[in-house]
Amino acid sequence: MSENKIQILPENIASKIAAGEVIQRPDSVVKELLENAIDADAKNIEVIVKKAGKNLIQVCDDGVGMSEQDVLLCVQKHATSKIKAYEDLEVIKTLGFRGEALSSMMAVAQIEIKTETKDDELGTLLNTDEQGNLIKEKGSFSKGTCLSVKNLFFNTPARRKFLKSDATELKHIIDTFNKTALSHPQITFKFYNNDDLIFDFQGGSLGNRIKQVFADNMLDALIPVDEQTDYLSITGFIGKPSLLKKSKGEQYLFLNDRYIISRQINHAVFTAYENLLEKGDYPFFILFLKIDPEKTDVNVHPSKLEAKFDDEKSIYNFTLAVVKKSLGTHDLVPSMVFSEEVLEEEKLIVDRYHPTKENDFSDRPSRRNFKTNTTRFTDEEIDRIFSSITDDVITRSPDEPVTHPFDKKEMQEVMHTLPKETRTEKEEASFIFQLHNKYILSQIKTGLMIIDQHVAHERILYEKALNRFEADIPFSQQLLFPRTVQLDPGRYELIQELYPYLNKLGFEIKLMSKNKIVIEGVPDDVKNGSEEKVLLEIIEEYTVNERENKLEQKDNLAKSYSCRTAIKAGDKLSDTEMRLLIDQLFATSMPYACPHGRPIVVKISLIEFDRRFGRT
């Protein structure tokens, strides 16, 4: 007789498996405990973490507290104060995990609860030992609840092994803390890491909370949104185009004060920005949606990050209209756009969200003030100079030798074909110019070549960084006055982790105690006065790449370095600087795409110009 293969799992193993749905990493614990504290009507909440939450996560609040009986029940499976009947699931107004969070934590960690209600003289202390046994004591405690989760995943070593570095886990915890703090600006939040007070957010308005979480001048870069109806209300802020990001993660959406991720609403916001976004841009926003809980379902996913709506189309259209209206009132949408309607032929139309105003061309030089001393070339002469740029300039294989338009030998050959008396003048004349301090333009045989100066410099610096990693000879510009910088623990640990590579790039950094560093030298590409800003931007870019693109360490740092130290759109370049930039660009292994895959060189053909102007 064959032996049975299917067994019923013992309770202790089943609970550890189930806990994985709720407690995925330390920041899951922080999220659940913060939400419980908010549900308990706390006015002040403190979070304390040690070793990125692996050793300790403690959340203390001054909320309503729990009676002795409630403490004993709260750690049991499916125990909750927030749902009494099935109907309550349909109208969830609280944040916590529907009775699974604390029992899940107990399955994979040791927990301690100190709690006392406002009416009780004595409170309750509940501990668990390594075997998960409950130990109860009575005592006098602060009003409210203080819950500690110690040695997370101590009894599931495989889960602990898969946690990321302390720097990464701490970054996730801080992200969760900031999201929760943004969702409830009226509550005071404090955050301690290894006994150091890192964040102290005093309760107040949403505007003040945004300043606390991001920067004092953040509101200057935001546009307020406020549209309220009986069915749905949207309030908050959206970013001006100057705040567009090349990465996700700066979109904060709260449904009835709960942080959620919604592809539909994100898409609605992105669509409202359609005339302002380039491919790969992400708008910054902090939006609060208020809707009757009966019209939405947050039980789609165990972590309740996703939500479904009864009438998704109406909510999509409402969000789109509200964001578009807010953008429109701030005169940010271009006044002329190409129509996306299906027409027999494409035409320019006036965007109805922006009435065309007088003096739209006021920045064009007027005729009476416009004088030029530049020697002018004939089209034939210019074509001969740029004849090396062929039709396949964008698609040329990087392995083929690249001839760039300012090759000295070719320039000399062209110059010698010109009349002798004009050669000197012609050699000094400029064949390139800068558009809005952003693009470098030059006429070529078949139309116009445009180079994005920022991404061109990115490509040059990216290859330079990779070469420096291999060469192992750091070249650093010593600072006359070293800069001392106070960091948060996440950034400090990341700089510590990347120190060998940062050093090879040319950053000379001393690591001090209490999350302080001293910058003593920087790479030659970093401008004077921007040393601290550039280093922090590189670290931020690196973190985003690590989270979203899972890049290898050296490649990630090279990309982050090139992105943050490259000349920016808006930097004015001299004729010599433009030529040097193009020289260096065409000396790289791939002059047509930046490290992130964006095009560097774009060509617009005469045929395309003719089509746009209706000449064909």
Chain segment 499-527, per-residue pLDDT in tens: 888 988 889 999 998 889 999 998 888 88
CA neighbor of 428 nearest in space, from 388, 371, 384, 375 = 375
- Give yes or no for residue 119 having a pLDDT over 60: yes
Is the entire prediction scored with pTM above 0.85? no
Most confident by average pLDDT, 187-201, 388-402, 413-427, 515-529: 187-201
Most confident stretch, 37-41, 88-92, 107-111, 443-447? 37-41
Residue 189 burial by Cβ neighbours in a 10 Å radius (0-12, 13-18, 19+):
buried
Q: Six-digit token pair at 42?
A: 């706390």
Identify the CA nearest to 333 among candidates 281, 275, 285, 277: 275
* Band of pLDDT at residue 200, cut at 50, 70 and 90: very high
The percent of residues in the chain predicted with pLDDT above 90, rounded, is 25
Residue 553 is predicted with a pLDDT of: 86
Minimum mean pLDDT range among 28-42, 163-177, 185-199, 346-360: 346-360
SS3 553: helix
Confidence check: pLDDT of 252 > 50: yes
- Domain 381-616: give its CATH superfamily: MutL, C-terminal domain, dimerisation subdomain (3.30.1540.20)
Specify the pLDDT at position 128: 81
Q: Which CATH number is associated with domain 11-204? A: 3.30.565.10
Tell me what the pLDDT averaged over the chain comes to.
75
Phi and psi, residue 149, nearest 5°: -115, 115
CB 575 within 8 A of CB 597: no
Mean pLDDT for the stretch of residues 539-559: 84
Instruction: Provide the pLDDT for residue 585.
Output: 81
- pLDDT at position 133, please? 80
Find, among 612, 607, 601, the residue nearest to 386 by Cα: 601
pLDDT at position 186 over 80: yes
Extract the runs of DSSP E, i.e. beta strands, from 242-329: 251-255, 258-260, 285-291, 296-297, 308-309
**Is the pLDDT higher at 73 or at 602?**
73
Q: What is the pLDDT of residue 343?
A: 44
Using the predicted structure, report yes or no on whether residue 257 has a pLDDT greater than 60: yes
- Specify the pLDDT at position 274: 60
**Residue 589 clears pLDDT 50, i.e. is over it:** yes
Q: Which among 214-218, 287-291, 393-397 has the top mean pLDDT? A: 287-291
Whether 184 and 61 have beta carbons less than 8 Å apart is answered as no
DSSP 8-class letter at 369 = G
| Confidence band for 228, pLDDT divided at 50, 70 and 90 | very high
CB 135 within 8 Å of CB 49: no
Which overall architecture, per CATH, does domain 214-329 show? 2-Layer Sandwich (3.30)
Structure confidence at residue 454 (pLDDT): 92
* Of 587 and 67, the one with more pLDDT: 67
Longest Cα–Cα distance of the chain, Å, equals 108
Residues 454, 566 contacting (CB under 8 angstroms): yes
Q: Tell me how far apart the alpha carbons of residues 322 and 314 are, in angstroms, rounded to a whole number.
A: 12
Of the ranges 230-239, 340-349, 425-434, 607-616, the best mean pLDDT one: 230-239
Q: Is the pLDDT of residue 383 over 50?
A: no
Confidence of residue 38 (pLDDT cuts 50, 70, 90): very high
- pLDDT tens profile 304-345: 567 777 788 888 999 988 987 787 666 443 333 334 444 444
Domain boundaries, the chain: 11-204, 214-329, 381-616
- If pLDDT is split at 50, 70 and 90, which confidence band does 351 have? very low
Other beta carbons within 10 Å of 371? 7
CA nearest to 177, candidates 288, 30, 318:
30
Q: Do residues 213 and 202 make contact, with C-beta atoms less than 8 angstroms apart?
A: no
pLDDT band at 157 (very low <50, low <70, confident <90, very high): confident
